[in-house]
Amino acid sequence: MAKKVKASASSAKRVYFFGDGKAEGNAKMKELLGGKGANLAEMSRLGIRVPPGFTVTTEVCTYFMNTNGKYPKGLKEEAETALKKVEKIMGARFGDAQNPLLFSVRSGARVSMPGMMESVLNIGLNETTSPGLIAKAGNERFVYDAYRRLIMMYSDVVMEKAAGIEPKEGMGIRQQLESQMRKMKDAKGVKDDTELDVDDLKKLVNIFKKKVKQVLKKDFPDDPYDQLWGAISAVFQSWNGKRAVAYRRIENIPNDWGTAVNVQTMVFGNMGNDSATGVAFTRDPATGEDKFYGEFLVNAQGEDVVAGIRTPQAINAVSKTEASKHLPSLEELMPALYKQLAKIRTKLEEHYRDMQDIEFTIQDGKLFMLQTRVGKRNGTAAVRMAVDMCEQGLISKEEAILRVKPEQLDELLHPMLDPRAEKSAEKLAGGLPAGPGGAIGQIVFTADDADAWAKAGKKVVLVRDETSPEDVHGMRAAQAILTAKGGMTSHAALVARGWGKCCIVGCGALNISAAKKVLSVNGRKLHEGDWISLNGTKGIVYDGTLGLLPADPEKNVHYKKLMSWADKLRKLNIRTNADNPKDARAARNFGAEGIGLTRTEHMFFGPDRIAAMRQMILADDEAGRKKALKKLLPLQRRDFIGIFKVMDGLPVTIRTLDPPLHEFLPNDEASQKEMAEQMGVSVDTIKAKVQSLHELNPMLGHRGCRLGITYPEITAMQVQAIIEAACHVTKQGVKVLPEIMIPLVGTKAELEDQRKLAVDTAEMVINKTGARGTGHGARVKYLVGTMIEIPRAAITADQIAEVAEFFSFGTNDLTQMTFGYSRDDAGTFLPDYLSKKILPAEPFQTLDQEGVGQLVDMGIRRGRSSRPDLKVGICGEHGGDPKSIDFCHRVGMNYVSCSPFRVPIARLAAARAAIENKK
Ligand code: ADP
Ligand code: MG
Ligand code: MG
């Protein structure tokens, strides 16, 4: 698989032109042109007006990285040719004193990494070109506004970040320049940037230049080509910037993809009141509704909308929020332009057949599109859009299913604040509902604190004025994110939406002092560590902790429809792991089609049972054990009756006792004493027993079927309880299908031993207590099978299948034993293995298909070679992992079994597996 290292991208084309209704690239070329470049090319081809420009490929980025900042030979010439083409279309020239052309230099990787990399606007403005632009635009203020922006962005991105300078907190050049600007506004007594006039901005340009020189010891470059190539290099370098690297790690994006660079003619949203800039989604990314949703600012440049400096206005009535409802919408302000934009919305959706996230700029009454990409959405919205688009004829059912990532369903299954508690709770403030669901946590004010507190096991809400890409690790760690500033397209909102995290933004009532770790809100003061509750679906912040309710996806009609399509397409059945009626009920409500694993040992830990269990363990002989087991029998029977009733009509797999007995005895002195008193024996007796049960390696010790073989009465009691319960409910008209599962089998003889015991016991019970005949109260049917969790069992599966009526792959143990990692001890080295990429993924979460998977595949094939109708499932943690589910589909399992809350995820993942493997 080793890829050939490209030493020089010599023969390849490295610069792709777009504009004027044409383009050399297209939307399919994301790997080479990045998402932004590919889609700019595509829009241009579609006849949508985009400012012309050219894209420098990701291969150049790779070359640049590998050569420590060099460019392949001939690149500059290629770029120059494309640049000339742009100049010709625009009838202006880069660096020209009379008729200057300006460029933006924009990053753009294969997949969007919102705000992680850099872009520089207004490249080409200098002492020579600014008079020309003033004459051309007839607007002096605008030119100086653009000029001061260029200096700020350029010094920050190119002269500081790309130069590897790491200023002290708050002392970055951008902040220093911003504070100069604030000073000027304060001196004038104004609030908005737009209130600074030409003379102010002129002065500011000079102040900025001086400050740059003073802080960075270098002049801001006046030469347009120096500016251009400085910016291009900086964008390439930003691929390896700290935040970009951190983001890629979280999102699992390979480091060697690289970014493309887009050099694009500037259009100006800051030319006056007929100019504007905005961002929009072709459908509502929070709810999924088929409504055009967006925000814009008059007389502004793009960065202003996302930065949350001014309150953005809504593009139309449905986009209005609490904060923007008093401001006119784009539709009201510039109706003709809104109509054009709405037309483009339709065109893009029909072309891409998916929700688009778009950027636009209006320059002097003329509309330009600056970006389109598939929009991020939360789970609820993803489901709704997929179903709507299918019903609107845009996509097929299969595509609809592939549009929703299984993990996204998690959000629909997310808890919500208890609405009754909400009614009486103290409302602290309201904001924009940027990420749905409810969350409760303690306030922290910095991303680092969020991270540290979460690591210490605390639940935190990260509260910030606004978030920036530097905060992602803390945002990840927090239960929820709350910001004072920013709109629905702010950084916090975008990131939270991508992750499906509860988030409220633009909560203007918050007055946050991160330095003092305190916030005031409507006359109240809250400190670090204080608890708050968030309703991210409505955008409300409450004081204290409210109750959290489990989610109820069954009320969501779109979800139900999507899942019904998924259920028709999938081949795998979905079962659940459940040890009690409550979990079984929850799983059944989520669509489980049976129980794949009931762990009986959990039933022995209850306060009413542990005594009898211990009595059995302490007993010296079989008679003593039988006496204790007699006490456990009715309790177990009752448990099974409860589960069978809930699972009426569906199979229930019950595993006989699995863990080593010492797990049922106390380890510490005090508890041993207590136990001795309760049982009327001496502490020494207990200590001796604990001692005798002590194992050096319990994972490989006296457990699983080994227990049942040395103590047959345990298996007998459990089977008796299972079958008696089955007979009991059968008489009540409940349909039961018990499957008795013997754990940790490694040889056929082991299973034969336990199977005989189980069958003898079951037949005895059925003959004694079971109903006969057919229909209501029919004779109980049952199966005896085994877990395949020891490598030897997988290898000799053909022999084992001669006595097993079903297999269930216990991939937790199978992974432990195949790798030779004890799962409980792997925490000491697994993190290193993952960070050093010695393992591609956590093998206890995602099945190791190359290794463990081969055993599974072999086990199934060998098993079915001797028993063709062998029923096969999986009951390890992997049964709820979408990638592993895809594997289970491919190797021909009958079902996967997972925890109740993952059942819907597994249903969808199974459908996706069926669709994707058909392709
Ligand atoms: P990001 O990937 O972080 O969104 P972009 O490359 O999209 O960065 O640039 C950020 C903003 O700069 C855009 O939202 C847009 O408003 C503005 N911008 C970029 N290029 C131009 C251009 N050629 N003309 C006008 N504005 C631009
Ligand atoms: Mg953008
Ligand atoms: Mg096991």
Q: Write a three-state SS string for 85-102.
A: HHHHHHCCEECCCCCEEC
**% of the chain with per-residue pLDDT over 90:** 75
DSSP result, 756-809? HHHHHHHHHHHHHH---SSSTTPPP--EEEEEE-SHHHHHTHHHHTTT-SEEEE
Residues 51 and 359: their CA atoms lie apart, in Å, by: 12
Q: Is residue 115 lining ligand 1, measured as CB closer than 6 Å? A: yes
Query: Ligand 1: which residue has its CA nearest to atom 22?
Result: 266
Written as six digits, the tokens of 472 are 């992602």
Q: Per-residue pLDDT for 6 more than 80?
A: no
Q: Is residue 429 lining ligand 1, measured as CB closer than 6 Å? A: no
Q: Is residue 106 lining ligand 1, measured as CB closer than 6 Å? A: yes
How many A from CA of 52 to the centre of ligand 1? Answer: 13
What's residue 777's pLDDT?
52
Q: Is residue 112 lining ligand 1, measured as CB closer than 6 Å? A: no
Written as six digits, the tokens of 115 are 């705000």
Neighbouring C-alpha atoms within 13 Å toward the C-beta of 213:
10
Cα separation of the two ends of the chain: 23
Comparing C-alpha atoms, which of 427, 459, 422 is closest to residue 442?
459
Q: Per-residue pLDDT for 132 more than 90?
A: yes
Q: Per-residue pLDDT for 1 more than 60?
A: no
How many A from CA of 371 to the centre of ligand 2? Answer: 6
Nearest ligand 1 atom to the CA of 303 is 11
Query: Ligand 1: which residue has its CA nearest to atom 15?
Result: 302
**Percent helix, strand, coil in the chain (nearest 5)?**
50, 15, 35
pLDDT, tens only, 487-502: 776 788 878 876 668 9
| Residue reference for tokens 């625009």 | 90
**% of the chain with per-residue pLDDT over 70:** 97
Comparing C-alpha atoms, which of 737, 754, 564, 553 is closest to residue 650?
737
Residues 34 and 828: their CA atoms lie apart, in Å, by: 39
Written as six digits, the tokens of 367 are 């509309």
Q: Model confidence at 911, in pLDDT bands (50, 70, 90)?
A: very high
What's residue 296's pLDDT?
95
User: Count of CB atoms within 10 A of residue 98's CB?
Assistant: 13
- What residues are paired with 416 via a beta bridge? 549
What's residue 4's pLDDT?
43
- C-beta separation of 363 from 298 below 8 A: no
- C-beta separation of 817 from 789 below 8 A: yes
Residues 150 and 160: their CA atoms lie apart, in Å, by: 14
Where in 639-696 does DSSP place strands (E)? 651-655
Which ligand is the nearest neighbour of the Cα of 279?
Answer: 1
pLDDT, tens only, 362-391: 999 999 999 999 998 888 899 999 999 999
Query: Ligand 1: which residue has its CA nearest to atom 17?
Result: 302
Which ligand is the nearest neighbour of the Cα of 270?
Answer: 1
User: Count of CB atoms within 10 A of residue 575's CB?
Assistant: 30
Written as six digits, the tokens of 517 are 């770790």
Query: Ligand 1: which residue has its CA nearest to atom 14?
Result: 302
Query: Ligand 1: which residue has its CA nearest to atom 8?
Result: 119
Residues 567 and 434: their CA atoms lie apart, in Å, by: 31
Q: Is residue 302 lining ligand 1, measured as CB closer than 6 Å? A: yes
Q: What is the chain's length?
A: 919
pLDDT, tens only, 588-634: 999 999 999 999 987 887 777 888 999 999 998 999 999 999 999 99
Clarify whether 491 is annotated catalytic: yes
Nearest ligand 1 atom to the CA of 106 is 6
What's residue 688's pLDDT?
92
Residues 268 and 276: their CA atoms lie apart, in Å, by: 8
How many A from CA of 586 to the centre of ligand 2? Answer: 43
Written as six digits, the tokens of 790 are 């020891």
- Among the listed residues 491, 662, 878, 889, the single catalytic one is 491
The average confidence (pLDDT) of the chain is 92
| Residue reference for tokens 């001669």 | 802
pLDDT, tens only, 631-688: 999 999 999 999 999 999 999 999 999 999 998 888 888 889 988 998 889 999 999 9
Q: Per-residue pLDDT for 7 more than 50?
A: no
How many A from CA of 744 to the centre of ligand 3? Answer: 6
Q: What is the pTM of this model?
A: 0.81
Nearest ligand 1 atom to the CA of 51 is 23
What's residue 307's pLDDT?
67
Q: Is residue 113 lining ligand 1, measured as CB closer than 6 Å? A: no
Q: Per-residue pLDDT for 417 more than 70?
A: yes
How many A from CA of 819 to the centre of ligand 3? Answer: 15
What's residue 301's pLDDT?
85
Q: Is residue 104 lining ligand 1, measured as CB closer than 6 Å? A: yes
Nearest ligand 1 atom to the CA of 302 is 16
How many A from CA of 359 to the centre of ligand 1? Answer: 8
Written as six digits, the tokens of 674 are 């207590």
- C-beta separation of 651 from 594 below 8 A: yes
Q: Is residue 153 lining ligand 1, measured as CB closer than 6 Å? A: no
Mention every residue, 6+ apart, whose C-beta is less than 8 A from residue 259: 34, 58, 61, 107, 108, 109, 117, 235, 236, 238, 239
89-93, 527-531, 606-610: least confidently modelled range: 606-610
How many A from CA of 655 to the centre of ligand 2? Answer: 54
